[in-house]
Amino acid sequence: MKKIFFFAFALFVSNFINAQIGIGNNDPKATLDVNKLSYAVGEKAGIAVTQQTGLQIVSMNTNGLKAGTLVYATSIHDFITSTGFWNWNGTTWVKTSATPETFYNADGTLTGNRNVTQASYDLTFTGTGKFIVNANTLIGSESTTSNAKLNVVNQTATGITVDVDNYGSGNGSGSTLRVRGARGSITKPIAQAAGEILGSFRFSGHDGTAFLGSSAAVAAVAEESFSSTANGTSLAFYTVKKGATSNNAANFSEKMRIGSEGNVGIGTSTPNATAILDINSTNKGILFPRITTAQMIAIIAPATGLQIYNSTTNSIWVYNGTNWLENANKTDKSKWQFVGSKTILSTLSDGVTARTVGKEFIIADNGRIGIGTPEPKTTLDVGGTAAMKVPVGTSAERPVTPEVGMIRYNGTLQKYEGYNGSTWVIFN
């Protein structure tokens, strides 16, 4: 009782002297200076603040409670999440910790914008934990209207390069950028259904006022409903046609599809399973490489089935593994072939089956012509065991201006005759 009276008396007196109270010393350095020059070993010391349970603190009437009020929580309850010192900041109770609370050891909520000036220093995150961002993320300039989860902005004319470097990878395994899709939710995902887009890379341009919608895209599309044994996927390519004023479905449409079996569809999203290339159009055609006969023959080791448009003959030619063949129409069964330095015309009986060697019309590179023989030995070499028919006519039907060397059969004289440059000579 005496101690209490003395303490109260000291406070009363001190209030009139210098408004500073010293306990254990006669030279207080603060409003309340509790100190002692020396303590005996084992002697109790310190200041004990009010101790209350978490429930008592939560239930405390804080109306008019002075900011800075300090209590010690002996148990947890509601927002009193740990025992220890808690202080009233005028609005809420705040945990007082020997270790300052930062984002390293405690959660928190920003009350305004925060900036970190790196200067020339790196900001590095290391460890095996995940770097998780559950909000929109902007890298680069703040001047953007994008609402994307990740927005990388650059204000230089050099463009943006994103490198994914992977060192030490072997056996063909390199860096991977994965875009994964699932229906449902994180806690309860549902398998993708056939026809749904798993993810896409999209491109868009700025019209001077704002970025337009997608101008081109590459999307992965499920070809079947996904399961542990079924995950067929195709790639779809989209573009906006030239001159379009909007990116609606009519303008932004699929132009090409690579199916799960490697078959390609142009102008169709469902390429025929039996075709490696399925082209569909109602107003366009296929344009083969256009080259001359000389350029065609000069192709080194052409592949079997190689096709070109011959601008010399104005026709399609196909290489059959041995020779170049002209693609004949349905009524013309003739087939021109280029074999080495010779031009061969084979008249095929059915337009498909090749005749035996020696029954062609051949023009050799030396100007010699062979009929029924693969190697003409003179200017005109007619092979075979039958006969060659020359022109037949009467004496009155002789050519008006004959040329030296002409041969004909004179039906009036019943004799072969030839022109020697001045007169017709009868062959005996």
Instruction: For 267-298, give the DSSP string.
Output: S-SS--TT-SEEE--SS------EE-HHHHHT
In a domain, 373, yes or no: yes
CB 214 within 8 Å of CB 247? yes
- The number of beta carbons lying within 10 Å of the beta carbon of residue 324 is 20
Q: Note the pLDDT of residue 139.
A: 72
| Structural domain total, the chain | 5
Alpha carbons 327 and 343: distance in angstroms, whole number: 15
In a domain, 113, yes or no: no
CB 278 within 8 Å of CB 263? yes
Nearest of 272, 256, 175 to residue 221 by alpha carbon: 256
Verify that 194 and 265 share a domain, yes or no: yes
In a domain, 24, yes or no: yes
Query: Which amino acid would we find at residue 275?
Result: A
DSSP result, 357-400: TTSSEEE-TTS-EEES-SS--SSEEE-SSS--PPPEE-GGGS-S
Verify that 197 and 274 share a domain, yes or no: yes
In a domain, 326, yes or no: yes
Residue with structure tokens 């900036």?
Answer: 115
Verify that 272 and 311 share a domain, yes or no: no
In a domain, 359, yes or no: yes
DSSP strand pairing (324-326 vs 315-319): antiparallel
In a domain, 212, yes or no: yes
Verify that 23 and 88 share a domain, yes or no: no
| Contacts for 404 with CB less than 8 Å, ≥ 6 apart | 419, 420, 421
Verify that 361 and 307 share a domain, yes or no: yes
Which residue range forms the structural domain that includes residue 261?
189-279
Query: Where is 6: in which H helix or E strand?
Result: helix 2-17
- CA angle 289-291-293, nearest 5°? 140
| CA distances to 317, 322, 350 from 353, in Å | 17, 15, 6
| Contacts for 28 with CB less than 8 Å, ≥ 6 apart | 20, 21, 22
Scanning 137-244, the segments in alpha helix (DSSP H) are none
Q: Note the pLDDT of residue 16.
A: 46
In a domain, 413, yes or no: yes
259-277 pLDDT, tens digit per residue, is 999 999 999 999 998 999 9
Alpha carbons 242 and 398: distance in angstroms, whole number: 69
Verify that 296 and 355 share a domain, yes or no: yes
Verify that 15 and 57 share a domain, yes or no: no
Verify that 367 and 302 share a domain, yes or no: yes
In a domain, 109, yes or no: no
Query: Which amino acid would we find at residue 139?
Result: I
DSSP strand pairing (197-203 vs 216-222): antiparallel
Scanning 171-252, the segments in alpha helix (DSSP H) are none
Mean pLDDT split into 10-residue runs, the chain, 428 residues: 47 53 76 73 81 94 90 93 91 81 74 85 86 74 69 76 74 76 90 93 85 86 95 94 74 91 93 92 92 92 92 88 72 56 57 52 79 83 86 94 93 94 92
| Contacts for 370 with CB less than 8 Å, ≥ 6 apart | 360, 361, 362, 364, 376, 381, 382, 383
Q: Note the pLDDT of residue 331.
A: 46
Q: Note the pLDDT of residue 342.
A: 63
Q: Note the pLDDT of residue 210.
A: 82
Verify that 303 and 373 share a domain, yes or no: yes
